Structure 1
């Protein structure tokens, strides 16, 4: 099958500007970028896609064995760049896709001009002096809860991830996005996400990188964003005046402005 159909690739925006490739996080699809795409598309060619198993991707391409870790998702991004003959790409990865973006850029750095890591975490589990925000018991409980009742887990976790109790419609949107995902696929992706450890990959990043975090994030605390910034040589760190793990929805103007400033920076 073609990569375009496998990953439901959509291209929009200006052919005259740089190419910005947007990679969504766990439980989401490309629709969650919709509030920042108009600003980006005025200036850049914007490429959107769904990870295999998400959105309108071809789920026949999914297997538990292939997608048991983040490497396969990175390979898919590389495939998209190859099929569309993209070069000098600005790769924007949200949440777990921030680390998927790191893996892709480390594998073929010649494809990528810049990385934007939006609310990233290289490891969710605390380890010695490293604080990822969760204990191993927390993550095991999270995965057990997902196994036992995926719809109930989605309804509980999505508002926590969104972090905007004053705007319940955003939590409801993320809940709906989670609930559209096949529970079997979601469980495999969740395990690949929350048990991953990509700390050793960060110092290998050789392209200019922007780390974007929010002032308060229950999934990726500020010390995690600082850790990512410290580990990637020459990276920049921006802390948005926003709350939650999905600022492309909760603070789209600030998120788009941070990305545009970095893309346009010479």
Structure 2
């Protein structure tokens, strides 16, 4: 299979620069990174892609069994790395992709040099001693609503996820992105995302890691960022003066600056 076509792979920036791989979250695609690209392409070779089932990836390659586990998304990452013969990749994962990057790095450590986790959450459901931001009933209700009326769910939830009500165009963009995803594929990705528990996987991380959180985020509250930071030895936690779950759109300059500062500091 043509992996580049399957995952709609785009390579831009400096051909001789360090490799940055940008991985989108649930309901999104590589277009979500466009506002940080002008900064990143100046110093890096930037690899973007869409997971199968998202964006302009080949929908014929989608398989429910494979993409019912975060391992399936990690396999997409590793197959793109193999196709492009990438080494020393600085993996930048947004939301659930932060955990996908953890899994990919554990499976093929020779491919990666650093991890950048943008608004990460290893588990969305609260437990005794752990706050993920939702109780089990919240997640059940969210998934039931998504499955019964995906377009209605998208219109209602995307602005909440995005935050920044004073900038409605951001919520509208995320709504459009959600609505462009096939409902059956979105249903599987949503269950995989919101029912996942990657807390034990965090303990496998040995790479220099940046945990990048927003000051206010209903999907990944700051207790989650603190937990991820505490669980990954030597990680760096940066809190952006931004709100919402998508700082690459709501605060692109600060997001790009935090990424590049971390890379320079960890050389």
What TM-score do the two structures reach when normalised by structure 1?
A: 0.99
Structure 1 counterpart SS, 2:20: strand
Stretches of structure 1 lacking an aligned partner (at least 5 in a row): none
Structure 2 counterpart SS, 1:8: coil
Q: How many residues align?
A: 266
Counterpart of 1:28 in structure 2 is: 28
**Distance in 1 between the 2:105 and 2:244 partners?**
26
Q: CA deviation at 1:206?
A: 1.1
**Distance in 1 between the 2:260 and 2:66 partners?**
34
Counterpart of 1:109 in structure 2 is: 109
Alignment of 1:1-266 (within 5 A): 1-265=1-265, 266=267
Q: What CA RMSD, in Å, does the superposition of the two structures yield over aligned residues? A: 0.6
> Are the counterparts in 2 of residues 89 and 113 from structure 1 also a CA contact under 8 Å?
yes
**Distance in 2 between the 1:261 and 1:41 partners?**
15
> Are the counterparts in 2 of residues 69 and 192 from structure 1 also a CA contact under 8 Å?
yes
> Are the counterparts in 2 of residues 154 and 179 from structure 1 also a CA contact under 8 Å?
yes
Structure 1 counterpart SS, 2:203: helix
The list of structure 1 runs, each at least 4 consecutive aligned residues, that deviate by more than 2 angstroms after superposition, is none
Stretches of structure 2 lacking an aligned partner (at least 5 in a row): none
Deviations 1:166-196 (A, max 9, x none): 0000000000000000000000000000000
What TM-score do the two structures reach when normalised by structure 2?
A: 0.99
**Distance in 2 between the 1:141 and 1:210 partners?**
32
**Distance in 2 between the 1:241 and 1:107 partners?**
34
Structure 2 counterpart SS, 1:245: coil
> Are the counterparts in 2 of residues 109 and 206 from structure 1 also a CA contact under 8 Å?
no
> Are the counterparts in 2 of residues 125 and 133 from structure 1 also a CA contact under 8 Å?
yes
> Are the counterparts in 2 of residues 120 and 213 from structure 1 also a CA contact under 8 Å?
yes
Q: CA deviation at 1:16?
A: 2.2
Structure 2 counterpart SS, 1:122: coil
